[in-house]
Amino acid sequence: MSEVAVFCPPEAEENWRDGKLFERMCKRLKGTIPKSWPEGEQCPPHGSYGFAECLAVDYFMSYSHLALPREGLKILVEGYYSKTKDEEGYQKASELLGPELAPLVLTYTGGQPPDLLVYSRDNRFFFSEAKRPTEPLSKTQKTRFPQIESLLRRYMEPGSQLQRGTGTPATSDIVIARVTPTNERKQWTRTLQLYRSYDIPEVSAKF
């Protein structure tokens, strides 16, 4: 597993809980945020649910990462591994992984897959798990994620007997997108720069 830092203002999670940030991010990320979120439990007023996932989506949509071009990038958000929750997302994930690998990864058995499946126009992809600043990997994730990484490595080995899908993993590592609060405004992702001036914390003159 590898890790990237997703920088945000120190008060971002608080603004998420009161709904200010969620509304803006839904507009910014329209077409990526699951339609069920505004009525579900993954958004305000349900605490911090959905916060790290939204910031991770924004990070990958704003910056090129792991040799995947930003242009044409698409992201499946949690639920893609369940045909009943997100049939369209499940079909795309199955297409990327292929008929032999998909049933081994897109399952709750042993723990659900990572929050995000990021893929490019040419169908290269990687998985990412979004975490809040102090949120650790769960015991299940510490077991399940290495299993998925191992499957991806075996799937990509020359001479593999597995039937390939349309995708080619950009990396076999699951990328942990760690939300990291900072006062350094230049490091914030693009969506968080949409804060109105009175939402932005005081920063030093050099910024």
Each residue of 11-49: pLDDT tens digit?
888 888 877 778 778 777 777 877 777 777 677 777 788
Share of the chain above pLDDT 70, in %: 86
Closest CA to 133 of 49, 191, 52: 52
Give the global pTM: 0.86
Query: Using CA atoms, how far apart are residues 17 and 6, in angstroms rounded to an integer?
Result: 18
Residue where the block lists tokens 């299940």: 140
27: burial class by Cβ within 10 Å (0-12, 13-18, 19+)? exposed
pLDDT for the residue numbered 190: 65
Within the chain, residue ranges assigned H as helices are: 12-17, 20-28, 51-62, 87-97, 102-105, 139-156
| Confidence tier at 107 by pLDDT (50, 70, 90) | confident
Check residue 98 and give left, alpha or beta (phi > 0: left; psi -120 to 50: alpha): left
